[in-house]
Amino acid sequence: MPSHRVFNFGAGPAVLPEPVLEEVQRDLMSLPGVGMSVLEISHRSPTFDHILQQAEADARRLAGVSDDYHVLFLQGGASLQFAMVPLNLLGPDAVADYVLTGSWAKKAVREAQQFGQVHIAATTEDEAFSRIPRAEELELTPGAAYLHVTSNNTIVGSQWPELPTTGGLPLVVDASSDLFCRPLDITGLGLLYAGAQKNLGPAGVTLVMIHKDLAVRSPDTLPTTLRYDVVAKHASRYNTPPVFAIYLAGLVMRWLLDSGGLVPMEARNRRKAELLYNAIDRTGFYRCPVQTGSRSLMNVTFRLPSEELEQRFVAEADQAGLVGLKGHRSVGGQRASIYNAFPEEGVSALVEFMGEFERIHG
């Protein structure tokens, strides 16, 4: 690690792979053979045609989706998808099922309620979202427009161990904070969306994969830029797309593929998470608020015996070059986000720091 880079545990925008940053830096003044920066090229130039097509092809390859799906690059973050999903897919007389597993899921629910009828198929809110609902707890509405789940709950630190079966309902997944952390099971997948700024690239682009059968649902009364069918027809270039963010997300996907794809990435993510959860569970000084079986590979949350110690922990960790460990303001505590690009050495450094902190304060 270059000496000036800290270990960045921030939840997002988050750490990016160093080889990607180096490539961006090297090519920023002039893309090889182009003589211009990627920041300056036309979104209709052959250079960008190639960047976009490659990014789309790599996203397809990583996700394992066929031509039955459109792969789109949008703007407005995952938060705009909270609205676009119901606006496009939830007709006036239909119901959409949502599983409420955390703060982001709640925002998705609230947004959908503005536009249509929502049924909460399951929630663990009365258990402080400390676990993902079990399969038998899901109450699905026959004929619902779709079932929405948040595959990884960034704030509380929980993750679906595997995506639920939906009894034929199209599954809509907010995968903003765990996309490509493991191979994706696309059985029953209707639509997947992910804001890029955690596991995929910089802020400013949202990846959407939508089954072609769903894309035809977009009502023509919607604002044009909010229609999946229009964005798909124009291959993500109905208007100017976020060229730089797509380029960078493309480099991250290349890096993933060049490092062997999602199988070794999952193994690496499991090693990192296990190391950290073992350190948390070891003595009782640290405590993870999420139950085993629902714990996230990406956002590891933990508490200390007092808030005073927690403040001290975060401040001293920061001094030691372990930054971004403060939990989300809505829940407090600590959160170590260890996305794909987060190095294993950083997790070891945190575990060592935790041991030392406990020795002094425990």
Helix, strand, or coil here: 152?
strand
DSSP letter at 224 equals G
**Residue 176 interacts with ligand PMP (CB under 6 A): yes or no:** yes
CA distance 129 to 253: 31
DSSP category for residue 30? -
CA distance 315 to 90: 46
- Identity of the residue, 79 or 141, whose beta carbon is nearer to ligand PMP in the bound complex: 79
* CB nearer ligand PMP, residue 155 or residue 265: 155
- Cβ-closest residue to ligand PMP? 77
Helices (H), the chain: 18-27, 46-63, 77-89, 103-115, 212-215, 228-233, 243-258, 262-281, 307-319, 344-361
In the set 8, 88, 101, 150, which binds ligand PMP (CB under 6 A)?
A: 150
Residue written as tokens 């990583």? Answer: 62
What's the closest the beta carbon of residue 258 comes to ligand PMP, in angstroms?
26
Q: Which listed range, 77-85, 183-191, 220-228, 330-338, lies at the site for ligand PMP (CB under 6 A)?
A: 77-85
- Residue 341 neighbours by CB distance under 10 Å: 20
Q: How far is the CB of 100 from ligand PMP (least distance, A)?
A: 13
Catalytic residue among 58, 97, 174, 229: 174
Question: Residue 239: how many CB atoms within 10 A of its CB?
Answer: 12
Report how far apart the first and last C-alpha atoms of the chain are (Å, whole number).
31
Q: Which two tokens stand for residue 249?
A: 């997300």
CB-wise, 145 or 192, nearer to ligand PMP?
192
Q: How far is CA 15 from the centre of its chain?
A: 13
Q: Please check whether residue 170 is in contact with residue 187, taking contact to mean a CB–CB distance below 8 angstroms.
A: no
Rounded to a whole number of angstroms, the minimum distance from the CB of residue 284 to ligand PMP is: 29
Q: Which is nearer to ligand PMP, 177 or 218 (CB)?
A: 177
Q: Which is nearer to ligand PMP, 69 or 339 (CB)?
A: 339
342 near ligand PMP (CB under 6 A): no
Active-site residue flag, 49: no
* Residue pair 12/204 in contact by the 8 Å Cβ criterion: no
Q: Does 154 bind ligand PMP (CB under 6 A)?
A: yes
Nearer to ligand PMP, 166 or 177 (CB): 177
- Does residue 294 touch ligand PMP according to CB under 6 A? no
33 burial via Cβ count (<10 Å: 0-12, 13-18, 19+)? exposed
Min dist CB 11 to ligand PMP, Å, is: 6
For strands 158-159 and 152-153, give the pairing. Answer: antiparallel
Dist. CA 231–CA 342, nearest whole Å: 33
Find the shortest distance in angstroms from Cβ 359 to ligand PMP: 34
Region from 25-33, 47-55, 76-84, 290-298 binding ligand PMP, contact rule CB under 6 A: 76-84
Quick one: which of 78, 96, 246, 262 contacts ligand PMP (CB under 6 A)? 78
- The one-character DSSP state at 286 is S
Q: Is 229 annotated as catalytic?
A: no
Q: Given candidates 7, 10, 12, 48, which one binds ligand PMP under the rule CB under 6 A?
A: 12
DSSP state for residue 11 in the 8-state scheme: S
104 binds ligand PMP (CB under 6 A): yes
Catalytic residue set: 104, 174, 198
Q: Which residues bind ligand PMP (CB under 6 A)?
A: 12, 77-79, 104, 150, 154, 174, 176-177, 195
